[in-house]
Amino acid sequence: MSRRYVTQVRVRWSDLDAYRHVNNAHTVTLLEEARIDWLFAEAARHGVNRLTEGIVVARLEIDYKRPIGMELPVTVSMGLTRLGQASMTVDYIVSVAGTTVATALSVLVPVDPVTFRPRRMDDRERAYLTQYLHDPVTTGGGLPVATLTPAERADRDDAIAFTGRVARWDTAGLIRLKADDGTVRMWAGTPFDALVTRAIEGALVPKDVTVHAGNLLAGLAIATAADVDPGPVVDAAWRSQLPPPSGWVVVDEVPATVLAALAEEGATGARDRPGPAGAASTALLDTEVLTVSGHGMRVALSLRMVFALSGMGFAPAVPGEVVRISATDSWARIDARYGAVVRRRHALLPLLM
């Protein structure tokens, strides 16, 4: 049976804000103090000393439920929802007088004290930590947890490249993961109102989840375990409709250098004629810069799709490189070497009652 480590931490005057409550940033310090007691002091009492050599926090999420004062002791209960080869996911329940005041989730990565690179935990460390491992489906805070397992190192690198580009726009940006028969397809929105997607070989549990780009990137790039913790699931935050998986008609193929030139020309126009907020104007983004025809279809591509393709680095602008343009009655798609850009061909009209 799994167990939890429970300890008490002391609130100091310096932790309080002007309202005599613990400042939100200082709540992180209380979690750190509790974690040190568990993974350093208590572990050392059981002959596990290597954890004290260094652990970095790769990700941290906190839900603040009630204010924390300093009149009563603060109790922190901790356990593990996941134990990988070189990382672990800790969940925290912070309570005062039996009432939960905060819940949290963090990904911890042991590091080598010399190289400061992630290292694998040894058998003694894993034996100590395993007793605190509990059901990974939900954390103590009730947050759903998923597991992504890329098939090979190359698949992990592909996922890192995709996620890194999305996170560069917004670390809180959403990435939807959908698994189907050994393939995991990644979907994300862009600042250009176009969807981007890329598929890797691997497994996903559950088979359809939405997570934040920054959390997924931390799990992929920092931790080295085969099973990746992509962070808390936020399915309710995804609002975009996905295109159909079938029914696409290949319209034409276009040299990647042509689209790269269009992107550069559009970027120049955005710099010369910025919109009200200093970025590319809506009128510029909606400009149709390329029209292709074939197989009974005529498809116009706006600068939005071209910018999304360029921003994601999907199509190398080298001689001989081509991209494929496909469409359905409602959607247009650009398929390139490293991913695809998808957007509705026609805006949805509001239904008037």
Q: What is the DSSP letter of 15?
A: G
More confident of the two residues 176 and 141: 176
> C-alpha distances in angstroms, 67 versus 29, 34, 191?
15, 18, 36
Parallel, antiparallel or unpaired: strands 74-83 and 55-64: unpaired
Mean pLDDT of the chain: 88
Flag whether pLDDT at 18 surpasses 60: yes
Q: Model pTM greater than 0.75?
A: no
Lowest mean pLDDT among 61-70, 258-267, 294-303, 331-340: 61-70
Best mean pLDDT range from 63-67, 271-275, 319-323: 319-323
Whether omega for the bond prior to residue 206 falls within 30 degrees of 0, making it cis, is yes
- CA-nearest of 241, 346, 349, 240 to 300 is 346
DSSP secondary structure letter of residue 246: S
Q: What average pLDDT does this structure show over 260-271?
A: 92
CA-based nearest residue to 201, from 220, 225, 180: 180
Write down the pLDDT at residue 135: 61
Q: Quote the pLDDT of residue 141.
A: 45
Q: What is the CA radius of gyration of the chain?
A: 24
How big is the chain, counted in residues?
353
Lowest mean pLDDT among 8-12, 61-65, 229-233, 342-346: 229-233
Confirm if 8 and 96 have CB atoms less than 8 A apart: no
Count CB atoms within 10 A of the CB of residue 285.
21
- Please tell me the least confidently modeled range out of 59-63, 272-276, 348-352: 348-352
- Structure confidence at residue 290 (pLDDT): 95
- Taken in order of first residue, the domains within the chain and their CATH numbers are 5-130 (3.10.129.10), 147-237 (3.10.150.10), 249-344 (no CATH)
Spatial distance between the Cα atoms of 249 and 195, rounded to a whole number of angstroms: 19
Region 52-66: mean pLDDT is 90
Q: Terminus-to-terminus CA distance in the chain, angstroms?
A: 58
Phi and psi dihedrals of 152, rounded to 5? -135, 170
Q: What is the pLDDT confidence band of residue 222, given thresholds at 50, 70 and 90?
A: confident
Q: What secondary structure letter does DSSP report for 18? A: T
